[in-house]
Amino acid sequence: MRSIREIKNIKGKTALLRVDFNVPIKNGEVEDDFRIRAALPTIKFLIKKGAKVVLITHLGKDGTESLYPVIKRFFEISKIALEKVTFFDNVRKFLGEMENDQAFAKKLSAMGDIYVNDAFSVSHREHASVVSLPKYLPSYAGFQLEEEVKNLSHAFKNPKHPFLFILGGAKFSTKMPLIKKYLELADQVFIGGALANDFLKAKGYEVGQSLVDDTNYGISRILENEKLILPVDVIVKSQDKLINKKANEVGKDEIILDIGKETVENLAPLIKKAKLILWNGPLGKCEDGGEKSTEEILKLVSVSKAESIIGGGDTVALVSDMKMEKEFSFVSTGGGATLEFLANGTLLGIKALE
Ligand code: 3PG
């Protein structure tokens, strides 16, 4: 990837900058502006070099959402003068974007002189503004994209040891390749969140009404791996009460909400000893009151001496809520993109810049 630092002279030229300002919106306001802040160094650099910047982003799945709250927040926090930056409309509003239509990509390219991708978190999508636009213009990687590639690569290119991988959240199918890969690369792989329910169930434990993914992904073979660590106790919701129980004592009507106290205590020394911690996905059902252990583990990781790499939309939202972003070595802006990059070592949008 060529860096924007290599651009010779862009004074007066127009840079089409693909950012990912797909941020949560609530009551017409941006709830979390982490992704917007992450793109500011690149935007400010291009402006300082005299370029005109056109920002291209999507918001939401289908392009129907207005960019207004995003634009408002962008100008509030960036303090960039209105005339320095233009926003292209929500790019998913145009059918050609998600269909990766070449005519659409060409039309986009006609708006600028160079293309910059600073949208790591959407770089796993085969969309026109991600993979095709760079074919029609001199193309570069923005600072955030470079940082994501550099930092996340530490997990699979000569990782430091002891290396602890913590994986939570749901969506078993997207995480199975990661579990397999990091059972080889890491020294311990701790599984929490809804993923752990599947493992506990495969062990023959009752998981009650907890969220499980019943597809058979060959869990039983993984269960034999000595690097695998599962919760020994859990917090369950039982008739509106939260109870800490042994993982093998969950009742038929109960729902597992979080990992238990003993599990957190068992993880603490591993976190302390680790030189590298990679973490993706919450360890409990945060939206239902199961966020405590994730918060506690975040605190433990933040004070450990390990290089700490945190990713995944929900985990990062908690980090952002707790105002702890600066306390980790690297916090990724990606959700699905981070998982795919960690599994495959590259993304379509990155390859398009090479
Ligand atoms: C994300 O939020 O992970 C990215 O913006 C990609 O969004 P998508 O999953 O709708 O493609």
pLDDT at residue number 174: 83
Q: For the chain, list residues with pLDDT below 50.
A: none
pLDDT at residue number 156: 98
The CA 323 to ligand 1 mean position distance, Å, reads 23
CATH code assigned to 154-343: 3.40.50.1260
Can you tell me which atom of ligand 1 is nearest the CA of 337?
Answer: 3
User: What pLDDT digit, counting tens, does each position of 83-102 carry?
Assistant: 999 999 999 999 999 999 99
pLDDT at residue number 65: 97
pLDDT at residue number 179: 95
In a mutational test of the pocket of ligand 1, which residue from 34, 59, 121 has the highest number of ligand atoms less than 8 Å from its CB? Answer: 121
The CA 45 to ligand 1 mean position distance, Å, reads 25
The CA 139 to ligand 1 mean position distance, Å, reads 22
Determine which residue's CA is closest to atom 2 belonging to ligand 1: 22
The CA 117 to ligand 1 mean position distance, Å, reads 15
pLDDT at residue number 172: 83
pLDDT at residue number 214: 74
At residue 54's C-alpha, the angle toward residues 52 and 59, to 5°, is 160
4-145 topology per CATH: Rossmann fold (3.40.50)
In a mutational test of the pocket of ligand 1, which residue from 18, 19, 20 has the highest number of ligand atoms less than 8 Å from its CB? Answer: 20
Can you tell me which atom of ligand 1 is nearest the CA of 125?
Answer: 11
The CA 111 to ligand 1 mean position distance, Å, reads 24
Residues of the chain with CATH 3.40.50.1260: 4-145, 154-343
The per-residue pLDDT of the chain, averaged, comes to 96
Please list every protein residue whose CB sits less than 6 Å from any atom of ligand 1. 20, 22, 61, 121-122, 125, 335-336
Residue 119 contacts by C-beta under 8 Å, 6 or more apart in sequence?
Answer: 18, 19, 20, 39, 57, 130, 145, 349
Can you tell me which atom of ligand 1 is nearest the CA of 60?
Answer: 10
pLDDT at residue number 256: 97
pLDDT at residue number 317: 87
